[in-house]
Amino acid sequence: MLEFLGIFTTVEFYIAVVQMTTPILLAAMGGLIAERSGIIPFGMEGMMLMGTVGGVIGSGLTDRVEVGLLLAMLAGVFIAVLYAIMAVSVGANQVVTAVALNMGALGLSSLLYVLAFAGGKGEVIEDVIRVRAMPLWKIPVLGEIPFIGKVLFNQYPLVYLAFFMAPVVWFILYRTSWGLKIRAVGEHPHAADTVGIHVLKVRYLTLIVCGMLAGLAGAFLSIGAFNAWQENMTSGRGFIAYTSIVFGRWEPIGAFLGSFLFGAADALQLRMQTQNIQVPFQVMVAFPYIVTVIVLVLSGKSAKWPAASGEAFKRESK
Amino acid sequence: MQAKHQPRKQNLWQAFLEKSFNITIPVVAILAAFAISGLLILGWGSNPIAAYKAIFQGAFGSPNAIATTLTRMTPLVFTGLAVAYGYKAGFFNVGAEGQLYMGALAATWVGVTFTNWPGWLLVIACFLAASLAGAFLALIPAYLKAKRGFNEVLTTLLFNYIVMQFFAWSLRIDHPMAGVDEKWGLVNWFGIKDPTQPYPKSAFVAEQSWLPSVNSFLKTGFINSIFGGTHWYQASLAEPALERITLAPLLAVLGVIIVFVLMFKTTIGFRARAVGVSPDAARAMGINVSKTILVTALISGTLAGLAGAMEILGTQHRVMERFLVDAGFTGIPVALIGQLHPVGAWLSAFFFGALRAGANRMQITTAVPVAMVYVIQALTILFAIAGTTIELVSYFKKSRMTSLSERAEEERLSLENNEVLDA
């Protein structure tokens, strides 16, 4: 038990917490914008998966991380646009579409990886291919602060972006006219439509933003905290990001806290596994989900699930 | 159930409720998916015809291939039925994955605990345990939906992850086993791990609970006495694939028939479908909506739990980490491609099973990676739901054009029916 508590005294643990939070937070912020406009962002898992492979291909082929990030965003947007075509234009069931896209992204990411690094033609990639990963950016003065500097201000650029996104998303949703439009479309698409808001366009745009952020979240896994790619690299983090949104009751601050909770549980579990501590770490992993269910049940009807979320908008239907 | 007042044939309600299984959309979707994937394979530098031929051979080319296809499809049939039945009543069960795992865990638990029970009893107990586990898991989200209006997609999804962690935990706790001398605590009864080895795996369930295979069926005295002398009989006995084909695929067919009857021929199914079409209309007809949701979820969870039991008793005989990946989630597209019809679910599970069974052969003979199969599946789902959605929309448009008087007449009839319904 003492060993277990010992984890909390190490700086590495807190650095890991921040780093495990990052991909979840990035995706959750993208997903939140999409969900507030009325689209359940279940497809984030697929967007993130494509982001992981986009990042590794861009960085691996050009040896430039920026190219990797750009490709990761494009790859995420690719899935997002497919999602938008199905969920927004066709009006298909969003959850089913997302299941299909996540499955497709699982296959497509593997295919692209082999195509990029084995030149196609059925070669099997035996070794792990190492690519250039993001450097750590030390913030000048703040990075010198003893403990906090190491944990918060000597991190990867995407970490800063992720933590910066939470207030930005809040600001966009609640302090700008775009945010008002997004929320209107998510709550009362027909009312929004009658006042001249282009519902489908708003939903397309929010999904594209979601794709970009989820793509970056994926890239953080492959060329941020790590420098290589594995099949199914996200292993459910897209869903975790979604759960964070639910945990946060569809509010940016809440989703931020949710991501943090999941990130911390993830980091704790990893540290416990590497140090071979005999405390059932499954409890740690399940804990945030259990809390989420409790939050959901306790908040009851007051949870702000966007009223029109999951429903396709059809102009003529009433 | 509509004995007193026989409504006009095919009135609007029934046209929608009884909307029969439409095979055109899935077939077109599959063809379109293969066509587009074919272009991808061409771009890959391989021959799509050869690749598809390899999939076909890997799925049906030999007795062994057929056995693999049947093995792969069986859990998908049950999860597909689970999702389809729930969806018909407006209970979108995204939790089939967790229910399947709990079903498998429960079945294994019974199978490794009551090792001295006779086979028939043990099999029934395993199935019962699996159904209860699955049903219990579905019941909580159903309760929250029925009584407090929670979205079941969220809750069933969340339960998956909690359950998966419980499963992983249980795999690491020694299960009290006969013959192993140790002090067992209460916690051990929640564990499933085989205490005699270090890995997170359970012991094999007692052998008498393994579902009989075609091979063992052939060996029975009765069959032996009839066909014993034939050359065909001897050849079949020597065929190893027949040992892999068990009762499970047959039970899957039975499951399809039962769900079909339940869905279309019983009051329970009628109520479920009425709630699925419109809870308000169902309430107006005098149907107890929350009770219907609870019953539907119980049935859906039971089916998903049985999927896990089938896999354990029919194929793997023990649980381990990731023993069956994604069969629960795949139940969603299986149900939707199957047009939410039990027979359709069986057909699409068959299609998915065959694709997965044939994927390896495709990779070996034509150098197209197994991952291509995921793309084919994804495209099939996308085309199928796009087709279904567009068709439904046009159906609704048509339905709005029916005259008001016709509607009023139907409403009167359905209200008259409902006294019979709830009798």
Instruction: List the CATH number of the domain containing A205.
Output: 1.10.3470
Q: Please indicate, yes or no, if residue A44 is contained in any of the structural domains.
A: yes
Q: Do B378 and A104 lie within an 8 Å CB cutoff? A: yes
Cα dihedral sign, B312-B315-B319-B321 = negative
Q: Please indicate, yes or no, if residue A225 is contained in any of the structural domains.
A: yes
**Is the CB of A148 inside 8 Å of chain B's CB atoms?**
no
CA B411, chain centre distance (Å): 35
Q: Do A243 and B161 lie within an 8 Å CB cutoff? A: yes
**Dist CA A296 CA A310 (whole Å):** 18
B373 vs A contacts (CB less than 8 Å): 107
Amino acid at A300: G
Pairing of strands A137-138, A154-155: antiparallel
Split at pLDDT 50, 70, 90, the class of A88 is very high
Q: Tokens for A3, please give them.
A: 């060993």
Q: Please indicate, yes or no, if residue A125 is contained in any of the structural domains.
A: yes
Yes or no: say if A227 and A156 are a contact pair by the CB < 8 Å rule: no
Amino acid at A270: L
Does the pLDDT value for residue A298 go beyond 50?
Answer: yes
**Is the CB of B226 inside 8 Å of chain A's CB atoms?**
no
**Is the CB of B372 inside 8 Å of chain A's CB atoms?**
yes
pLDDT in tens, B113-159: 999 999 999 999 999 999 999 999 999 999 988 888 888 888 898 89
CA-CA-CA-CA torsion for A121, A127, A132, A134, nearest 10 degrees?
110
Q: What is residue B179's predicted lDDT score, i.e. its pLDDT? A: 72
Q: Please indicate, yes or no, if residue A113 is contained in any of the structural domains.
A: yes
Amino acid at A260: F
Q: Please indicate, yes or no, if residue A314 is contained in any of the structural domains.
A: no
Yes or no: say if B175 and B204 are a contact pair by the CB < 8 Å rule: no
**Dist CA B402 CA B128 (whole Å):** 47
Q: Do A293 and B159 lie within an 8 Å CB cutoff? A: yes
The mean per-residue pLDDT over the stretch B186-198 comes to: 88
Q: Do A292 and B158 lie within an 8 Å CB cutoff? A: yes
* Nearest chain B CA: its distance from A100 CA (Å): 5
Q: What is residue B19's predicted lDDT score, i.e. its pLDDT? A: 52
Does the pLDDT value for residue B9 go beyond 50?
Answer: no
Considering only alpha carbons, which residue of chain B is nearest residue A245?
Answer: B154
Q: Do A111 and B332 lie within an 8 Å CB cutoff? A: no
Q: Do A236 and B161 lie within an 8 Å CB cutoff? A: yes
Q: What is the mean pLDDT of chain A?
A: 87
Contacts of B126 (CB under 8 A, 6+ apart): B106, B107, B110, B111, B205, B209, B309, B312, B313
Yes or no: say if B156 and B141 are a contact pair by the CB < 8 Å rule: yes
Does the pLDDT value for residue B180 go beyond 90?
Answer: no
Amino acid at B190: F
Instruction: State the best of A293, A296, A298, A301 to mutate against chain B, taking most chain B CBs within 10 Å.
Output: A293
pLDDT in tens, A99-133: 899 999 999 999 999 888 876 555 567 678 888 88
Pick the more confident residue, A219 or B18.
A219
User: From residue B349, how far is each of A180, B60, B258, B271, B323 by CA, in Å?
Assistant: 44, 15, 17, 26, 18
Considering only alpha carbons, which residue of chain A is nearest residue B94?
Answer: A95
Q: What is residue A2's predicted lDDT score, i.e. its pLDDT? A: 65
Q: Which of B70-74, B161-165, B225-229, B346-350 has the lowest mean pLDDT?
A: B225-229
Q: Do B378 and A297 lie within an 8 Å CB cutoff? A: no
Yes or no: say if B12 and B402 are a contact pair by the CB < 8 Å rule: yes
Amino acid at B270: F
Q: What is residue B419's predicted lDDT score, i.e. its pLDDT? A: 44
Yes or no: say if B245 and B214 are a contact pair by the CB < 8 Å rule: yes
Q: Please indicate, yes or no, if residue A121 is contained in any of the structural domains.
A: yes
Q: Do A97 and B162 lie within an 8 Å CB cutoff? A: no
B165 vs A contacts (CB less than 8 Å): 282-283, 285-286, 289
Task: For chain B, list the domains and their CATH numbers.
Answer: 12-211+246-421 (1.10.3470)
Q: What is the mean pLDDT of chain B?
A: 86
Q: Tokens for B224, please give them.
A: 């032996």
Q: Do A296 and B158 lie within an 8 Å CB cutoff? A: yes
Split at pLDDT 50, 70, 90, the class of B372 is very high
Q: What is residue A123's predicted lDDT score, i.e. its pLDDT? A: 59
User: From residue B413, how far is each of B14, B287, B289, B399 by CA, in Å?
Assistant: 12, 15, 20, 18
| Pairs across A and B, CB distance < 8 A | 142
Q: What is residue A56's predicted lDDT score, i.e. its pLDDT? A: 95
Query: What was the ipTM of the complex prediction?
Result: 0.89
Mapped onto helix, strand or coil, the DSSP state of residue B266 is coil
**Is the CB of A295 inside 8 Å of chain B's CB atoms?**
no
**Is the CB of A234 inside 8 Å of chain B's CB atoms?**
no
Q: Do B378 and A97 lie within an 8 Å CB cutoff? A: no
Q: Tokens for B100, please give them.
A: 């399947």
- Closest CB from B40, B94, B393 relative to A91: B393
**Is the CB of B27 inside 8 Å of chain A's CB atoms?**
no
Yes or no: say if B142 and B131 are a contact pair by the CB < 8 Å rule: no
**Between the ranges A291-295, B390-394, B408-412, where is the mean pLDDT highest?**
A291-295
Domains in chain A: how many in total?
A: 1
Q: What is residue B388's predicted lDDT score, i.e. its pLDDT? A: 82
**Is the CB of B284 inside 8 Å of chain A's CB atoms?**
no
Residue A252's domain spans which residues?
Answer: 2-297
